[in-house]
């Protein structure tokens, strides 16, 4: 029995449970954390003399704390993303990326785009999205991550959905999760309209966006940061569902957030607009950036009409898409007008878009099919 205790994995040792000795052990396999199972390496012998028994208790605690921290972090840093990926890869990858990149965009919102129209849009967002996150010190962030990993890896039994909910809540409590920041999306829209739209088209679009501001503000004001985090988790799960839908669909299709950033598309749509399929992910392109000016205005007007009308989900309309490959090739020619779109780069299409709403009735995803 003593040999089994000596070779127990980190989680069996932490729970004072008997370990089977294999790697991964039977207990970790049953708890679905087999990829984290491992034996802690013994601490390196210290070259410094051991503290005397007469030392104060505070001194002893200070001397042993770093060793304990090393024991927790014996596994390489790559363990953290692996562990998160095993639970729900898109959820944790996306939200973490947003957390680390949102702050520059949010700062840009108030400094570079201080126009009244942009400020009006920013007022509609919850306080959690309008206020930049406070940067944490590297030392405190590492301890938060360690605490979250220990809590998430050694949690109580239950259904997979219950355990996932507890993991999300634990990560949020550790300060490692924040809601998706829509300020950057509105900022991007404002900049694109300033560069690519006439004053009349810009005014029409702003008027449309301002019509559903009161409804959005009324709903969002009653939501907490944790509510918004779970909304983002539901968005990521929808992305997984549409992986299968788009792969089996033979017509050009893509989906985007309510601010227009495209997060998934199939190869047929990529060929239609002349972009690599990799650019139809993670908001690298926005749907309005692939449309002609009048079509972009028409889309926002149609979207605004049903954005918060739960009785309507789908709209059938027409649009003019711009093939980016042809557009780029034409603009490389000497003397070409950089603002004018050549006729052979325009693609007339009929398309329908469907609004997917979250549990609070707020549009979270728009799915478009083009013919």
Q: What is the pLDDT of residues 51-81, one digit of tens each?
A: 444 444 443 333 333 444 334 443 333 333 3
Question: Angle, to 10 degrees, between the axis of helix 160-173 and the axis of helix 79-111?
Answer: 50
- Contact between 253 and 234 under an 8 Å Cβ cutoff? The reply is no
Domain residue limits, the chain: 1-41, 183-370
pLDDT at 177 over 80: no
Ranges 17-21, 36-40, 364-368: which has the least confidence: 36-40
Closest CA to 252 of 237, 228, 265, 269: 269
Place of tokens 């949020």: 172
Evaluate whether the domain defined by 183-370 bears CATH number 3.30.450.20: yes
Residue 69: the pLDDT is 39
CA–CA gap between residue 294 and residue 308 (Å, rounded): 23
Tell me the mean pLDDT in the region 324-345.
Answer: 76
Please name every residue paired with 355 in a beta bridge, in sequence order, or none if there are none.
Answer: 366
Which pLDDT band, with edges at 50, 70 and 90, does 90 fall under?
Answer: very low
Distances (CA, A) of 296 to 27, 32, 197, 241, 357: 56, 47, 9, 27, 21
Residue 311 structure tokens: 């009785």
Tell me the mean pLDDT in the region 135-160.
Answer: 62
Residue 366 structure tokens: 């728009």
291 vs 84: which has the higher pLDDT: 291
Residue 142: the pLDDT is 62
| Antiparallel, parallel or unpaired: β 262-265 and 346-357 | unpaired
Say if 1-41 and 183-370 have the same CATH topology. Answer: no
Which pLDDT band, with edges at 50, 70 and 90, does 227 fall under?
Answer: confident
Evaluate whether the domain defined by 1-41 bears CATH number 3.30.70: no
145 vs 23: which has the higher pLDDT: 23
Residue 359 structure tokens: 């549990």
Mean pLDDT for the chain overall: 72
Tell me the mean pLDDT in the region 30-34.
Answer: 78
CA–CA gap between residue 267 and residue 246 (Å, rounded): 9
Long-range contacts at 86-92 (CB < 8 A, ≥ 24 apart): 86/32, 86/35, 87/152, 87/164, 87/167, 88/164, 88/233, 88/236, 88/237, 90/236, 90/239, 90/240, 91/168, 91/232, 91/233, 91/236, 91/237, 92/171
Phi and psi angles of residue 319, each rounded to the nearest 5 degrees, phi first? -160, 170
Starting from the edge strand earliest in sequence, which strands make up the sheet with 346-357, in order?
262-265, 253-256, 363-370, 346-357, 314-322
Tell me the mean pLDDT in the region 308-328.
Answer: 88
CA–CA gap between residue 355 and residue 213 (Å, rounded): 17
Which DSSP category does 73 fall into? T
Selection from 87-96, 117-126, 237-246 with the highest mean pLDDT: 237-246
């Amino acid at each position: 029995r003593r040999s089994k205790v000596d070779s127990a994995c980190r989680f069996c040792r932490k729970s004072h449970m008997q370990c089977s000795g294999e790697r991964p052990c039977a207990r970790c396999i049953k708890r679905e954390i087999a990829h984290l199972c491992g034996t802690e390496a013994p601490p390196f012998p210290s070259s410094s003399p051991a503290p005397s028994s007469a030392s104060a208790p505070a001194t002893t605690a200070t001397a042993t704390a770093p060793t304990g921290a090393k024991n927790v972090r014996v596994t390489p840093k790559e363990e953290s993303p692996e562990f998160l990926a095993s639970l729900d890869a898109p959820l944790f990858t996306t939200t973490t990326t947003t957390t680390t990149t949102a702050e520059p965009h949010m700062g840009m919102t108030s400094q570079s785009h201080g126009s009244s129209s942009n400020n009006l849009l920013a007022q509609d967002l919850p306080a959690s999205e309008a206020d930049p996150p406070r940067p944490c010190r590297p030392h405190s962030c590492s301890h938060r991550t360690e605490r979250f990993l220990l809590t998430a890896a050694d949690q109580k039994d239950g259904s997979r959905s219950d355990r996932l909910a507890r993991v999300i809540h634990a990560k949020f409590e550790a300060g490692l999760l924040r809601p998706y920041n829509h300020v950057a999306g509105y900022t991007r829209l404002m900049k694109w309209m300033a560069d690519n739209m006439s004053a009349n088209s810009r005014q029409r679009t702003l008027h449309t966006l301002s019509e559903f501001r009161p409804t959005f503000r009324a709903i969002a004001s009653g939501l907490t940061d944790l509510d918004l985090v779970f909304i983002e988790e539901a968005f990521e799960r929808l992305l997984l569902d549409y992986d299968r839908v788009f792969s089996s669909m033979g017509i050009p299709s893509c989906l985007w957030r309510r601010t227009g950033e495209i997060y998934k598309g199939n190869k047929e749509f990529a060929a239609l607009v002349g972009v690599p399929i990799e650019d139809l992910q993670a908001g690298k392109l926005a749907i309005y950036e692939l449309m002609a000016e009048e079509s972009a205005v028409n889309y926002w007007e149609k979207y605004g009409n049903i954005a918060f009308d739960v009785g309507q989900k789908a709209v059938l309309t027409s649009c003019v898409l711009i093939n980016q490959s042809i557009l780029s090739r034409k603009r490389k020619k000497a003397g070409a007008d950089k603002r004018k779109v050549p006729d052979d780069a325009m693609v007339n299409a009929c398309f329908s878009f469907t609004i997917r709403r979250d549990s609070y009735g707020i549009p979270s995803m728009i799915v478009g099919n083009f013919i």
